[in-house]
Each structure stands twice: as structure tokens, then as C-alpha cells.
């Protein structure tokens, strides 16, 4: 394994882990936040997220990517993490002699019940992701996957957070969302095809 690889990739992971150690949580009641979703809705959403994330992570694992989970599971707590982070840090060295041909990035999976909501992301989460991207000089991608009958499908797309959003809206649950243009497929996995042909 290239020594350059070890220094660059381990340096990024160390930066991410240091950032994680400095995250703080805030009780929702102290923020005056009144949840619109019920506890059951929150837990159902988390369960869908678990399935979707595992489904996407397997795609990368099967293609020789190394995955490091970095997100925090707070489903049983009435707290909010300041400066959220994505689900995974991912790395793959395509050519051990050339760091320029290497892939290291983070991704977060967003399960959606309708394709029309691909590209919709909570603004608060984006703010946290961008802090990590800037601090650790790491690209961050958001992966959207369609859920049907409670299960992930082969319908997915992604957006690059380095690209500016095209719109800002308020969602039904009162959250502010940013809407991004997105592409069909998965980042750095051109051979993995989505069931979406056009949109």
C-alpha cells in the first residue's frame, strides 16, 4: 500500500473522528422545538433509514470500498446534534501509485417514498455536513433511495453538496429544506445501475 495513501486517507479519517469527538447535543425542549412527528413516526423513519443505509453500504462493500460508520444514533433521545455528520466515511484506492486516482468521501442516505422528493434535504443537516466537508477537505454526497412497502428498491440517485441548491422551501413538518439537482446512480459506482432511466 502506498505510503502517500496511508498519510492522506488516515489523516482525513483522523480529522473526521476529531470532529465527531467535539459534537454536542442539545435537548429539544431547550430549543423550544415542538416536534410535528410522533415518536412512532420518528422510529419508523429511523428503521427505514437503517434498511436503506445498509442496502447502499453493501453496494460499496461489494465493490471493494472500505466503509467507516460515523453518524450517531439518537433515536431514543429527545436531543438534536449540532453540526450533524453523514452516515459513512468511504475510501478506495484505485491506483496505489497515484493518490489523484483515489476515492475518499462521505455519504449520507436519504430514504424517500416518492421520487419527486429526491434532492430534498434538511437545511440544518446540510449546514453540519458542509462544516465537516470544509474542515476535513472531504467531498460529501447525499444518496436518495426509493422505499416501497417498507423496503429499499433499486431506484436511487445522488447529489454533490459542493453544488449550490436550486431552491429553499418549508416542508410539511415545518423543517426548512434545500432542494438540489441530482443524478441517477451512485457516486463512484458507474457500473451500478438504477431503475430510473430518466426524470
pLDDT truncated to tens, each residue of the chain (199 aa)?
A: 444 445 456 788 889 989 888 776 666 555 455 555 555 655 566 678 889 999 999 999 999 898 999 876 655 555 566 778 999 999 886 654 544 445 789 999 999 999 999 999 999 899 999 999 999 999 999 999 999 998 999 999 999 999 999 999 988 777 899 999 999 999 999 878 787 755 5
Could you tell me which of 55, 115, 119, 65 has the C-alpha nearest to residue 89? 65
What pLDDT is recorded for position 60?
94
The answer to whether the CB of 138 falls within 8 A of the CB of 132 is yes
Could you tell me which of 123, 182, 180, 150 has the C-alpha nearest to residue 49? 150
Q: Which residues of 82-106 are buried (b: 16+ CB within 10 A; e: fewer)?
A: ebbbbbbbbbbbeeeeebeebbbbb
Instruction: For Cα atoms 79, 74, 66, give the angle at the middle one, nearest 5 degrees.
Output: 140
Q: CATH topology for 3-184?
A: Trna Endonuclease; Chain: A, domain 1 (3.40.1350)
What pLDDT is recorded for position 118?
97
**Beta-carbon-side half-sphere exposure of residue 194 (alpha carbons within 13 Å):** 22
What's the 3-state SS for 119-175? CEEEHHHHHHHHHHHHHHCCCEEEEEEEEECCEEEEEEEEEECCCCCCEEEECCCCC
The answer to whether the CB of 163 falls within 8 A of the CB of 170 is no
Residue 111: exposed, middle, or buried by beta-carbon count in 10 A (0-12, 13-18, 19+)?
buried
What pLDDT is recorded for position 80?
60
Domain borders along the chain are 3-184
> CA Rg, the chain, in Å?
17
What pLDDT is recorded for position 101?
45
The answer to whether the CB of 49 falls within 8 A of the CB of 57 is no
Length of the chain: 199
Amino acid at each position: 500500500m502506498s505510503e502517500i495513501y496511508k498519510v492522506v486517507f488516515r489523516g482525513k479519517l483522523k480529522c473526521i473522528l476529531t470532529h465527531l469527538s467535539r459534537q454536542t447535543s442539545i435537548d429539544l425542549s431547550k430549543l423550544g422545538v415542538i416536534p410535528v412527528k410522533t415518536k412512532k413516526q420518528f422510529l419508523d423513519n429511523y428503521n427505514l433509514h437503517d434498511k436503506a443505509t445498509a442496502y447502499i453500504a453493501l453496494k460499496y462493500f461489494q465493490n471493494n470500498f472500505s466503509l467507516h460508520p460515523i453518524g450517531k444514533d439518537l433515536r431514543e433521545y429527545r436531543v438534536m446534534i449540532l453540526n450533524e455528520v453523514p452516515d459513512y466515511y468511504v475510501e478506495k484506492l484505485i491506483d496505489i501509485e497515484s493518490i489523484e486516482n483515489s476515492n475518499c468521501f462521505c455519504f449520507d442516505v436519504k430514504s424517500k417514498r416518492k421520487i419527486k422528493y429526491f434532492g430534498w434535504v434538511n437545511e440544518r443537516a446540510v449546514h453540519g455536513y458542509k462544516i465537516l466537508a470544509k474542515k476535513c477537505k472531504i467531498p460529501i454526497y447525499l444518496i436518495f433511495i426509493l422505499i416501497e412497502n417498507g423496503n429499499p428498491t433499486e431506484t436511487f440517485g445522488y447529489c454533490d453538496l459542493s453544488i449550490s441548491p436550486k431552491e429553499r422551501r418549508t416542508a410539511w413538518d415545518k423543517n426548512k429544506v434545500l432542494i438540489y439537482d441530482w443524478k441517477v446512480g451512485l457516486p463512484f459506482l458507474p457500473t451500478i445501475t438504477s431503475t430510473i432511466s430518466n426524470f
